[in-house]
Amino acid sequence: MQPGFLANGRKGKRKPRTRIVDVQQPEESGPPPSAIVASTPSSSSMPTTSLVVLPAAPVFMRPPRLAGDHKGIFAKMAADPNFRLRFFTPPDNSFVFAYWPDIKHRLLARPDAFTPLSSPARLPFEIRAVPGKGMGMVAKEAIAPGALIVRERPLLVMPATVPVVYEATLNGMSYMPEDVRSTYLTLANCLPKLSQMSGILNTNGTLLDDMPGQLDDYCGVFRNIARVNHSCRPNARPRWDADLFAGELRAQRAIAAGEEITFSYTSTFLPSAERQDILSHKYHFTCKCILCSLPPALLAANDQVRTYLGDTVLPSVMFGPLAQRGMKEFLDLERMLEMGADDSPTLWRPLARELTRRYCAEGKRAMAVKWARKAMEMTLVATGTDGGWAAVVEAPEKTDAWRSPGGGT
Ligand SMILES: C[S@@+](CC[C@H](N)C(=O)[O-])C[C@H]1O[C@@H](n2cnc3c(N)ncnc32)[C@H](O)[C@@H]1O
């Protein structure tokens, strides 16, 4: 699931920015980590004698596809019966799935297809009114970073091109089991000019970026995840799990009891004006989150850090060898992430992995544990599993990187 609602597609259209060199940094931090680059270590290069192998560097989410030729697609759909959507509801009638031909058998062929999901036994949140935002999700208890908040099947799944196709959307609704329909109809609609069904779909649909055997992106509407309001400094992140056919929401930093649970509907690496533009055009509200309420000078500084992280650091981390960079660059990156107030796993995850490896190599146990825990939390948020990091937190001295400068790379 893309971290954000359907507006995320816009990200791909953004013009490349020029490099910002006057990012505010503490004096001692030196030049920005412009040359931080990543490696994707091959497991074949790892020694096999150690008990625990440092988990591999993160695999990044593939970038969103650019918008296709919508007019052409719609004309084809209208003319060709093979392009008509099919509809499917599982035996427990828990959702409706609109799909292009050729996907249902793939999904049903899986051994665990649509088996009951495990979610936290006691949901750690309530859905209630939040001043100025309609309904929202609020924590009932403290939630630890990486912890699962909810895992749920969608109420409705459709190809992401469909929400703007009025007729197909309405057809889909007639296949909705009654209690799915009644829940769906209680969801927010910020687009009252569309039909109620389409308005709700466009207000609440999240991109499901991985649908087995399908090239198209799909979108889904979820009972609880749809109630999560936006923040530019969110404390949670949604993820689509194609294997479970479920969405999950995890805390990306510690959440206190009574705190509203939020995620970002836009890329957090966009400057505030671009974020506000997307939010007002797509979702018809003005964000007043902690970042957007900063005094102008601080907001401008935050914009600089975030755009620098997104435009310069992120591509270099995605496409270059991390292990070759100096330690100072990693510490600079940590400072920049803190200054930019970005808590997402996108950059914290590769940073935490590399710092764990380096502290292991130096035999510094406390620091290795600290960073392995961060890597574990960020990996849980990004992938839904600890990726082997729990074992590293327990015993960093058993990794292949321990007191071995080249280990774990
Ligand atoms: C997916 S819904 C979120 C849940 C919604 N508040 C509800 O009542 O069900 C998206 C809509 O919630 C509102 N919303 C979300 N985040 C907001 C925010 N930070 N400030 C104000 N309104 C917000 C907007 O009306 C937006 O169109």
Q: Is the pLDDT of residue 49 over 90?
A: no
Atom index in ligand 1 nearest the CA of residue 135 equals: 8
Arithmetic mean of pLDDT, 150-178: 73
Stretch (H or E) spanning 235: none
For ligand 1, pick from 8, 204, 230 the residue to mutate: most ligand atoms within 8 Å of CB. 230
Residue type for position 44: S
Counting Cβ atoms within 10 Å, is residue 200 exposed (0-12), middle (13-18) or buried (19+)? buried
pLDDT higher for 133 or 192? 133
Counting Cβ atoms within 10 Å, is residue 297 exposed (0-12), middle (13-18) or buried (19+)? exposed
For ligand 1, pick from 264, 285, 290 the residue to mutate: most ligand atoms within 8 Å of CB. 285
pLDDT band at 404 (very low <50, low <70, confident <90, very high): confident
What confidence tens digit (pLDDT) does each residue in 199-217 have? 888 899 988 888 776 667 7
Sheet strands side by side (includes 246-251)? 148-152, 246-251, 236-241
pLDDT higher for 122 or 35? 122
* ipTM value for the complex: 1.00
DSSP 170-224: HHHHHTS-HHHHHHHTTS--S-TTS-HHHHHHHHH-EEE---TT-SS-EEEE-TT
Enumerate residues 6+ apart whose C-beta is below 8 A from 112: 243, 244
pLDDT band at 112 (very low <50, low <70, confident <90, very high): low
Ligand 1 site residues, Cβ closer than 6 angstroms: 132-136, 187-188, 190, 203-204, 226-227, 229-230, 283-285, 287
Q: Is the pLDDT of residue 35 over 50?
A: no
Arithmetic mean of pLDDT, 372-397: 97
Mean pLDDT, the chain, rounded, equals 78
Domain limits, the chain: 1-347
Atom index in ligand 1 nearest the CA of residue 282 equals: 27
Q: What is the pLDDT of residue 1?
A: 63
80-84, 173-177, 189-193: which range is least confident on average? 80-84
For atom 22 of ligand 1, which residue has the closest CA? 133
What confidence tens digit (pLDDT) does each residue in 38-48 have? 222 233 332 23
- Residue 350 corresponds to which tokens in the numbers above? 């590769």
pLDDT higher for 369 or 313? 369
For ligand 1, pick from 229, 231, 276 the residue to mutate: most ligand atoms within 8 Å of CB. 229
pLDDT higher for 94 or 272? 272
Q: What is the pLDDT of residue 131?
A: 97
Q: Which of 305-314, 370-379, 396-405 has the highest mean pLDDT?
A: 370-379
Q: What is the pLDDT of residue 28?
A: 29
Q: What is the pLDDT of residue 214?
A: 67
Q: Tell me the CA–centroid distance for residue 255 and ligand 1, in Å.
A: 19
Do residues 46 and 400 touch, judged by C-beta distance below 8 A? Answer: yes
Place of tokens 């939010």: 279
SS3 289: coil
Region of 125 please: left (phi>0), alpha (psi -120 to 50) or beta: beta
Q: What is the pLDDT of residue 6?
A: 47
Class for the domain spanning 1-347: mainly beta
Q: Is the pLDDT of residue 375 over 90?
A: yes
Q: Tell me the CA–centroid distance for residue 167 and ligand 1, in Å.
A: 26
Atom index in ligand 1 nearest the CA of residue 284 equals: 27
For ligand 1, pick from 133, 191, 278 the residue to mutate: most ligand atoms within 8 Å of CB. 133
- Residue 1 corresponds to which tokens in the numbers above? 């699931």
pLDDT band at 354 (very low <50, low <70, confident <90, very high): very high
Q: Tell me the CA–centroid distance for residue 285 and ligand 1, in Å.
A: 8
Q: Is the pTM of this model over 0.90?
A: no
Q: What is the pLDDT of residue 12?
A: 35
Atom index in ligand 1 nearest the CA of residue 134 equals: 8
Q: What is the pLDDT of residue 13?
A: 37
Q: Tell me the CA–centroid distance for residue 226 and ligand 1, in Å.
A: 9
The number of residues making up the chain comes to 409
What confidence tens digit (pLDDT) does each residue in 275-299 have? 999 999 999 999 999 999 999 999 9
Q: Kind of pairing, strands 206-208 and 229-230?
A: unpaired
